[in-house]
Structure 1
Amino acid sequence: MELVYGTAVAVEGRAVLLRGPSGSGKSDLALRLIENGAQLVADDQTRLVRESGRLVASAPDTIAGQLEVRGVGIVPVDNVRRAPLDLVIDMVPPEQVERYPEAGSCTYLEITVPLLALSPFEASTPAKVRLALRHLTAR
């Protein structure tokens, strides 16, 4: 088991881990994804375990089902207990998003996962997350 700093959301049953420092837009992007049909897996801290050669994301019991929304507080949101992790996205400023990025990856518990860097506050970012799940993680 590995506990990582980041927010995980399930898009069509597949978890995306959003990474970045405090205030980088992880929860904001998660909220926009949730408002468009995704489900929260974990906010701020995500538990990863290996199961049958895959990573599975879940929330520590103390924070399950809760999302911190700046300016509002900690609120309950539509959530799922666990989901297979298929994509990791680093939150970066707009000028650091590559126009034609090379395939990236990161490793947790000796399992490699596709990695992408996106600017969380752009209007198109939730759509980019869904496209990335479809095209970068085709299995």
Structure 2
Amino acid sequence: MIRHAGLVARRVGGTWRGVLIEGASGAGKSDLALRALAAGFRLVADDRVVTFVSEGRLFGRAPDPLKGLTEVRGFGIVPEPALPFAEIALVVRCVDDPSGVERLPPPRTERLLGLDLPAFELWPLEPAAPAKIARMLEHLGVAP
């Protein structure tokens, strides 16, 4: 299944863990991904993510025509070293207003291809958004 999303990954406990970044067009997905790259994440896919299940785990990769490319709004499409795929451990849904993010949200999951994944809402333009994603991966039970 192809999702309108971005996918970045970070090494946690020696394993690459992916974060699927979803939201409406223009919500800031690519902006958040660029800032995550600057914070030590690696690109897997920008704008479109091919998702698939293997051995009971969800993975994502870029469609062939988009491999190794990312959008820099106001500049264009640029090459970016990318991982060929990553296990998706977390879903981040971009909201268009910071007031839409609960301060202490209850645990949530999102079902993708029959698997339940931890899911969080995040305002993508917040300066701390990449750091928050890193903390989510490290502290919310998604790391092995």
2:111 and 2:10 mapped to 1: Cα distance? 21
Deviations 1:104-131 (A, max 9, x none): 1111111111100011111111100000
- Counterpart of 1:98 in structure 2 is 102
In the TM superposition, residue 39 of structure 1 has moved relative to its aligned partner by 1.0
Does the Cα contact within 8 Å between 1:106 and 1:115 map onto a contact in 2? yes
Q: Which amino acid aligns with 1:87?
A: L
Unmatched runs of 5 consecutive residues or more in structure 2: none
2:72 and 2:44 mapped to 1: Cα distance? 15
Does the Cα contact within 8 Å between 2:17 and 2:143 map onto a contact in 1? no
Equivalent in 14, 17, 20 of residue 14 of structure 1: 17
Alignment of 1:61 with 2:68, yes or no, is no
Q: Where do 1:52-131 residues align within 5 Å?
A: 52-92=55-95, 93-131=97-135
- Counterpart of 2:43 in structure 1 is 40
In the TM superposition, residue 135 of structure 1 has moved relative to its aligned partner by 1.5
In the TM superposition, residue 37 of structure 1 has moved relative to its aligned partner by 1.7
Equivalent in 127, 133, 138 of residue 134 of structure 1: 138
In the TM superposition, residue 86 of structure 1 has moved relative to its aligned partner by 0.1
2:101 and 2:138 mapped to 1: Cα distance? 19
2:58 and 2:128 mapped to 1: Cα distance? 27
- Counterpart of 1:4 in structure 2 is 3
Does the Cα contact within 8 Å between 1:34 and 1:78 map onto a contact in 2? no
Unmatched runs of 5 consecutive residues or more in structure 1: none
1:103 and 1:78 mapped to 2: Cα distance? 33
| TM-score, normalised relative to structure 2 | 0.93
SS across alignment from 1:21: coil
In the TM superposition, residue 32 of structure 1 has moved relative to its aligned partner by 0.6
How many residues are matched? 138
1:62 and 1:45 mapped to 2: Cα distance? 10
Q: Which amino acid aligns with 2:118?
A: P
2:133 and 2:27 mapped to 1: Cα distance? 16
SS across alignment from 1:24: coil
In the TM superposition, residue 21 of structure 1 has moved relative to its aligned partner by 0.7
Deviations 1:73-130 (A, max 9, x none): 0001121010000000000120101000011111111111110001111111110000
